[in-house]
Structure 1
């Protein structure tokens, strides 16, 4: 018998035999026929067995071998039938062993135990009903039991081996699927990181450009010195925006970059510079910095606070031009770091950065993606804190957040 005989019909039932299956079936039939012929030859030596019975044994043994072609479709019924037949017709013993092997390969242990137990019981009965003239009863029984146990053990080994191969194959497929999902997640995170970096770095600069460009268009009769100063600010802001864009793209292209790269990242110590930059753009910003040693704030925490203030100032410049913006930062290692940016309702329409946004042409406001505040909440959550926003009772707007004081 071939160790690869049959397929596990429980897992993958087959509707047609392949070349391999035909070869295995022919080998099993030949093996069963050899065992049946040997049993018939042993019975032929017994003078008490009439020739008619010997002929009937050979016919039944041949029919049992032919019945093995159905062993893949009905393994258990065939095995039970052949066990009963082989008990009274020894030439069918070979076919019975093949059928029991098939059950051991294709069926779970409970079914194998039931069929195997029936086969074991049949061996002493066969030795008593149709004794071998060359073997004593105990030797014949022990030989039959040993053959049945060997066939069952072999079949269960083949089954376990096939299950192991299937398990390894499924595990490999699962690993490939997980690797693909991890790659897709990495791509999604990379896209989110790119969007976040682009928004944080460029939105602030571009809003400053809109403010100064709107001021030039709003006041075409401004003194040449003021026009030159505004044009210089526009030029410097555009240059800085291009530089920061180049740096961000360089960082994102770097293999294994985590968003930090070699580009210096802003911290809480750079907050005053950010506020001063907004003041130069014409905003009225009051900074209430209550953290005595800003340099002691962990870089990750200070960077998140910086981004919160930056986004809040950008939004105030767009939607509340002319209003005084209040920035308050306080905290300690024990209490964490709290930040709040508040502005009252915006100024008059038409002012640079006025109500409804800074204007280039009358009524044209600075566009926004609407995702900045959502991104702030995500940043704060990743840092273990929180960030919220909403209108104030007087019609203004407030952005507030809290972050743990930790590296």
Structure 2
């Protein structure tokens, strides 16, 4: 026989031999002792009826009753022993407990039904044979009495065993589902944390680009104006004063933009935890939770200059002594804020590079509105190589930052030297959602 009943009532393997727990072993051994004692007494009666020595009856009864100890290991075997000894009227406790164990075990239902039916018939037959000669009544009464006793001894343990087996399987299924759900929640939490960390890295990178663009451009213009002040201070005090005033204006503008960026940084720190929650909500598919902090943070970061401010930007470079021309083709509608900001920053960084690397060169800024996209190009001629970069350090992140901005919006970015010895920066951005 296979171990078909080992799981009945067990959840693990912490007890001796085949028992799942020590309590099960104690219970089964106790039931086996009680059954052995009962069957021992009944074996004496059986020995008297069959004219066998009492010792034989006792030993036979004890051996039969003790089989209840292995009911979890071999439930079918215990039921068969009960069926085999039913004609001897031995093993009341054995029969009831073995049927319950069989019904509660993992034995196929057809085998349980077959053995339960055989037990019902055997009990009915034994009761009928033992009652028909002792009761002074009609045969119908004896049949009804035998049937009632057979059902009373068979149905309750079988039904209760089926209930306990179904209940145990349900609990195991619920536990498996709970474990699976816990694992899934753990994976979702890990993915949410990864998304939150990715979002934080993206925000730090974007803010770093903003600060680079703001500081590099303003400070470059301040250095250029300061150099001009130094050059003309002795021979043209009026022009020196004008350049000094421009330096002051540039410094104040730089400070204002830096304060705005620092305010965004503080906002990022305040919403850092909500962003993680929003990422978890997005991983679980809860759009309502994912919208608030992320949208607020994105809108705060995306507030910035527009394409309409390019004329003023070019004017600042002219004031610093650069020969720069702005050429606009077409009429643009209101683009998405991030598109306008990116276009402005690309032109701003390109002009900053002209100040650093091509002082004295002529610069042409071209802006073209092409329906659903906007293109910009900044091209400079050859500059004074000896003066290039004097007093204007470069971190080498200008072109990288421009490329990242443009590609992040699905645009096209190209940069490189021209045949005339200058340098050209070109970018094309999709218009995105029309504002307003």
Check if 1:275 corresponds to 2:314.
yes
Q: What is the CA deviation profile of residues 336-355 of structure 1, one whole-angstrom value per residue up to 9, with x for unaligned ones? A: 211111223332312xxx3x
- Which residue of structure 2 lines up, in the alignment, with residue 332 of structure 1? 370
> 2:363 touches 2:379 (CA, 8 Å); kept in 1?
yes
Alignment of 1:86-101 (within 5 A): 86-89=79-82, 91=94, 94=97, 97-98=100-101, 101=104
Which of 168, 172, 177 matches 1:155?
Answer: 168
Check if 1:64 corresponds to 2:70.
yes
Structure 2: stretches of 5+ with no match in the other structure: 1-6, 51-56, 83-90, 128-145, 271-292
- Which residue of structure 2 lines up, in the alignment, with residue 207 of structure 1? 220
**Post-superposition offset of 1:159:** 1.0
Q: What is the CA deviation profile of residues 214-235 of structure 1, one whole-angstrom value per residue up to 9, with x for unaligned ones? A: 4456778664334333333222
User: Which SS does the other structure have where 2:386 is aligned?
Assistant: coil
Which of 322, 325, 328 matches 2:360?
Answer: 322
Distance in 1, matches of 2:112 and 2:65, equals 21
**Post-superposition offset of 1:153:** 1.2
**Post-superposition offset of 1:40:** 5.0
Distance in 1, matches of 2:109 and 2:206, equals 64
**Post-superposition offset of 1:373:** 2.8
- Which residue of structure 1 lines up, in the alignment, with residue 427 of structure 2? 401
Bigger Cα displacement from structure 2, 156-165 vs 24-33 = 24-33
User: Which SS does the other structure have where 1:389 is aligned?
Assistant: strand
Alignment of 1:151-300 (within 5 A): 151-215=164-228, 223-254=236-267, 256=293, 257-261=296-300, 265-292=304-331, 294=332, 296-300=334-338
Alignment of 1:6-17 (within 5 A): 6-7=10-11
* TM-score normalised by length of structure 1: 0.72
Distance in 1, matches of 2:154 and 2:394, equals 94
Check if 1:342 corresponds to 2:379.
yes
Check if 1:367 corresponds to 2:394.
yes
Bigger Cα displacement from structure 2, 183-192 vs 274-283 = 183-192
- Alpha-carbon distance change, 151 to 31 in structure 1, aligned in 2, over 3 angstroms: farther
Distance in 2, matches of 1:16 and 1:271, equals 82
Distance in 2, matches of 1:159 and 1:326, equals 75
Distance in 1, matches of 2:98 and 2:429, equals 78
- Alpha-carbon distance change, 276 to 34 in structure 1, aligned in 2, over 3 angstroms: farther
Distance in 2, matches of 1:242 and 1:187, equals 25
User: Which SS does the other structure have where 1:322 is aligned?
Assistant: coil
**Post-superposition offset of 1:276:** 0.8
User: Which SS does the other structure have where 2:349 is aligned?
Assistant: helix
Check if 1:85 corresponds to 2:112.
no
> 1:88 touches 1:126 (CA, 8 Å); kept in 2?
no
Bigger Cα displacement from structure 2, 297-306 vs 232-241 = 297-306
- Alpha-carbon distance change, 179 to 216 in structure 1, aligned in 2, over 3 angstroms: same
- Which residue of structure 2 lines up, in the alignment, with residue 109 of structure 1? none
- Which residue of structure 1 lines up, in the alignment, with residue 344 of structure 2? 306
Check if 1:54 corresponds to 2:92.
no
Structure with more helix by fraction: 2
* TM-score normalised by length of structure 2: 0.68
- Alpha-carbon distance change, 398 to 131 in structure 1, aligned in 2, over 3 angstroms: farther
Q: What is the CA deviation profile of residues 268-299 of structure 1, one whole-angstrom value per residue up to 9, with x for unaligned ones? A: 1111100111111122212111133x564454
User: Which SS does the other structure have where 1:258 is aligned?
Assistant: helix
Structure with higher Rg: it is 2
> 2:116 touches 2:154 (CA, 8 Å); kept in 1?
yes
Distance in 2, matches of 1:16 and 1:217, equals 93
